[in-house]
Every structure is written in structure tokens, then in C-alpha cells.
Amino acid sequence: MQRTAIRQAGPELDGPNVAAGEGKDRTARRGIPVRRGAVTVTGLDMPADTRVTVMGEEVIRDMRRGFVMQRIMPPGIHGVEIGIGGQSRIRDVTIPAKEMFATGIADVTLAL
């Protein structure tokens, strides 16, 4: 391997498919049901020497003393415990068993 200051040409990405199965859709099943929800807890400007826990797990903070913790949970009502120092609070979170989500596009052309 050699280093050079001259910019090399990039790979050609518009050529023929060379790998077996490349460019083919082999999806066995579409519409896989998802029966869980994400719970996200965030915090900012936490004191450096204070222990922070979310749902019993100690939180790792970034350089700005902030954190983000996300957990995937099953449907139902859950108590999410957030502990800061010696104090803690429980927030009730409801993850629905069924939820609808749809997208659509419409194209209308009028000629007069």
C-alpha cells in the first residue's frame, strides 16, 4: 500500500451486477408485525458526581454531562424509574398493543 498526494479515481458504481443475487429482492415476508415500542429518556447538565439510573441501569454521560437511554418494551403500562442521586421518580408509560401508521401520495393533473 502506498500513500500519494494525487487524487485517485473512484470505483465505477454504475457497471453490471457482479455478485450473485445483487439487485434482486429476496424478501421472504413483507409486513412483519412489530409489537413493541421504544421508550427514550434524555437528560442534560447532570452534575458530574451524581449517580443517574434509568430502569435500574446506571447511565453513561457524555462530555457535556448529558445522556440518552432507549429501551424496547412490550405493549402495556410500564413504570419507568428515573433515579438522580438519592431521589427517584416513576413515570407511567403506555405502549399501545395496536397502532396505525400510513403514508400516501397523490398526483393530480388538470387540463383546461
Residues of the domain holding 62:
37-92
pLDDT given at position 22: 67
Q: How many domains does one find in the chain?
A: 1
Q: 3-12 burial by CB neighbour count: b if 16+ within 10 A, else e?
A: eeeeeeeeee
Cell of 108: 393530480
pLDDT given at position 42: 92
Does residue 100 lie within any of the structural domains?
A: no
Does residue 70 lie within any of the structural domains?
A: yes
Residue 87 pLDDT class (50, 70, 90 cuts):
very high
pLDDT given at position 17: 63
Does residue 47 lie within any of the structural domains?
A: yes
Does residue 64 lie within any of the structural domains?
A: yes
Does residue 73 lie within any of the structural domains?
A: yes
Does residue 103 lie within any of the structural domains?
A: no
Does residue 11 lie within any of the structural domains?
A: no
pTM: 0.58
Residues 6 or more apart in contact with residue 39 via CB below 8 angstroms = 70, 71, 72, 73, 78, 80, 93, 95
Arithmetic mean of pLDDT over the chain = 83
Residue 1 pLDDT class (50, 70, 90 cuts):
low
Extended beta strands in 3-36, E state: none
Could you give the CA distance from residue 69 to residue 87 in angstroms, rounded to a whole number? 19
